[in-house]
Amino acid sequence: MKIIIQLMLLLGLALPSLAQEKEWQKEWNQILAAARKEGKVVVASSPDATFRNEIVPKFMARFGIAVEFLAGRSSEIAAKVRTERSAELYSVDVFLFGPDTSAKVLYAEKMIDPLRSLLVLPEVVDPTKWKKGNLWFIDPEEKYVLRVFSRTREFFPINTEYVKPEEIGSAKDLLNPKWRGKIATEDPTTTGRAAAQAALFYLQLGEEFFKRLYIDQKPGVAGERRQTADWLARGIYPICLTCRTEDSDRLRKEGFKILEIFELSDMRPFVNSSPWLLTVANKAPHPNAAQVFINWLASKEGIEIYSRGYSVATLRNDVDESFLDRRFIPRPGVSYFDFDDWNFTVKEGERIRLRIREILKPR
């Protein structure tokens, strides 16, 4: 009799669980069927080899839904979207942008829909799958802008054929006259990595240091990132303030002696949300395909592809990070400056960026 009672209790507990499972599966199947009828999802992001070469074919093979990739500077894409919307045209479903454009354009101008309610896959909504114990929506309402990466970031890479590692122990070493005309950056008056790096130097070391580095040291300013990576490899500018980890990885594989600088004695280490924050457009032309895409992208499979493609630490706790350089994984107990903190982005960071543009405007 005791065994029978125990079996009945177990069955009573299992039935609601099975019902819930069937419920989400039923909902997911309906979304997927509607998405396949829509035929495609349009995703806007920065030029991204991992997205183009791995995410797109994997998603299409998994779900039979095409991905149209709109690649370019986030600020330029956002301006294009704004213009289209003024004419009642809606062409983009999903944005993978950095904090500046996500917060100060997409969110501020109400171009995006709440994302939280669109997430339905159990492995995505399960709080135990995330290092913070929950999905991390960084916007004030905690439902529009999802952060899935938090990585320790290098300050910049150097080409060790031209710059010895011991010559760059602090940021102030960059002011050595021998590096005048030997430092590269993308345009720091725009958005993205270049603006963030410039603001970081300004914030931690002050305006006088910033002027000496960005004006007196006569850095080479490139129009796009491939040029800075080429300059770094060839030693034309052997210090690159805006080259990315994936640039350094690729150059090393090609035989160049590239080393990332992670520690500077006069600067606080920091983390960011690179390579992107996840948002979904309102009035999306393919809403069901967008929902399938964002659920899969935030799943273990989608996030792990990016983790490997970018050598970046994620906020999921079920992604294998054993392959990562441990320097990219935030260490417990270390006080990092979170450069992509929402309040910093929209307030203090914005004040600094405006001042930087004023300092560097053509005279």
Sorted by where each begins, the domain ranges of the chain are 26-149+273-331, 156-266+345-360
Distances (CA, A) of 246 to 45, 54, 283: 16, 14, 34
Of 14-23, 58-67, 185-194, the range with the lowest mean pLDDT is 14-23
CA–CA distance, 210 with 202 (Å, rounded to integer): 5
What is the C-alpha separation between 182 and 186, in angstroms, rounded?
A: 14
Is the fold of 26-149+273-331 the same as that of 156-266+345-360?
yes
Beta carbons within 8 Å of 62's beta carbon, 6+ residues apart: 296
The pLDDT value recorded for residue 11 is: 52
Q: Is 238 exposed, middle or buried (0-12, 13-18, 19+ CB in 10 A)?
A: buried
Residues facing 196 on adjacent strands: none
Q: Summarize pLDDT for 65-78 with one digit per residue, the tens.
A: 999 999 998 989 99
Q: pLDDT confidence of 112, banded at 50, 70, 90?
A: very high
**Looking at residue 2, what is its pLDDT?**
64
Which of 27-36, 58-67, 216-225, 327-336 bottoms out in mean pLDDT, i.e. has the lowest? 327-336
The average pLDDT across 341-362 equals: 92
In CATH terms, 26-149+273-331 corresponds, of 3.30.70.260, 1.10.3720.10, 3.40.50.300, 3.40.190.10, to 3.40.190.10
Q: Over 50: is that where the pLDDT of 106 sits?
A: yes
User: Residue 156: which of 243, 225, 247 has the closest Cα?
Assistant: 243
Q: What angle do CA 215, 221, 226 make, to 5 degrees?
A: 155
Q: Would you place residue 15 in the very low, low, confident or very high pLDDT band (cuts 50, 70, 90)?
A: very low
**Candidate CATH numbers 3.30.70.20, 3.30.1330.20, 3.40.190.10, 2.40.50.420; the one for domain 156-266+345-360:** 3.40.190.10
pTM: 0.81
Question: What is the spatial distance between Cα 189 and Cα 191, in angstroms, rounded to a whole number?
Answer: 7
pLDDT of residue 178 exceeding 60, the answer is yes
Mean pLDDT of 51-62: 96
Exposure b/e, 336-354, CB count within 10 A at least 16 = b: eeebbbbebbbeebeebbe
Asked whether the predicted pLDDT for residue 16 surpasses 80, the reply is no
